[in-house]
């Protein structure tokens, strides 16, 4: 089974990540009632495609090698780092961007042309990560049936 799972272990997380990004784009159309192409390529928002990707990878490693394997431990730690980055680190970057953008607008004497507008939505809220994780897990279980 290990040799049989080599290509799906690479392909399925990529398919899951791309499908999640498309889902994010479709949800943005429903939520904003207009087509905004930026949501097809952006990070942040619901669901987290980074999370769905790493959860998919960890799920496949668990199915292939078991949850007691070294490879699963590595994929689990990798997933934890990516999820932590999405929720904590990138969300803080977005909050800092919001504050800097506000300061640039409000502080007199600053040449606004010298400062690019920073993205204010870089990371994920916990619910967006949870959505990405659940979506990635179940989509992976579905796709495994076809490989």
pLDDT digits over 55-73, tens only? Answer: 999 999 999 999 999 999 9
- The answer to whether residue 1 scores a pLDDT higher than 50 is no
Query: Do 14 and 92 touch, CB atoms closer than 8 A?
Result: no
**Residue 36 vs residues 16, 29, 33, 109, 131: alpha-carbon distances, Å:** 21, 7, 9, 34, 21
Q: What percent of the chain has pLDDT over 70?
A: 96
What does the alpha-carbon distance between residue 19 and residue 83 come to, in Å, rounded to a whole number? 18
Domain ranges of the chain: 6-144
What pTM, to 2 d.p., does this model score?
0.81
Work out the pLDDT band at 3, boundaries 50, 70, 90: low
- The answer to whether residue 108 scores a pLDDT higher than 60 is yes
Q: What is the DSSP string of 32-100?
A: HSS--GGGGT-SSSSS-HHHHHHHHHHHHHHHHH-TTSHHHHHHHHHHHHHHHIIIIIHHHHHHHHHHH
Q: What is the mean pLDDT of residues 86-96?
A: 81
């Amino acid at each position: 089974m290990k040799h049989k799972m080599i290509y799906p272990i690479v392909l399925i997380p990529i398919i899951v990540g791309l499908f999640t990004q498309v889902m994010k784009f479709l949800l943005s159309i429903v939520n904003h009632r207009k087509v905004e192409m930026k949501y097809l390529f952006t990070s942040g928002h619901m669901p987290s495609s980074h999370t769905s990707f790493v959860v998919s990878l960890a799920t496949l490693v668990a199915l292939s090698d078991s949850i007691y394997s070294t490879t699963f431990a590595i994929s689990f730690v990798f997933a934890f780092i990516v999820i932590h980055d999405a929720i904590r680190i990138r969300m803080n970057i977005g909050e800092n961007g919001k504050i800097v953008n506000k300061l640039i607008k409000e502080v007199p004497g600053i040449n606004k042309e010298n400062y690019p507008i920073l993205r204010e939505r870089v990371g994920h809220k916990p619910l967006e990560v949870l959505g990405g994780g659940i979506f990635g897990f179940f989509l992976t279980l579905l796709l495994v049936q076809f490989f």
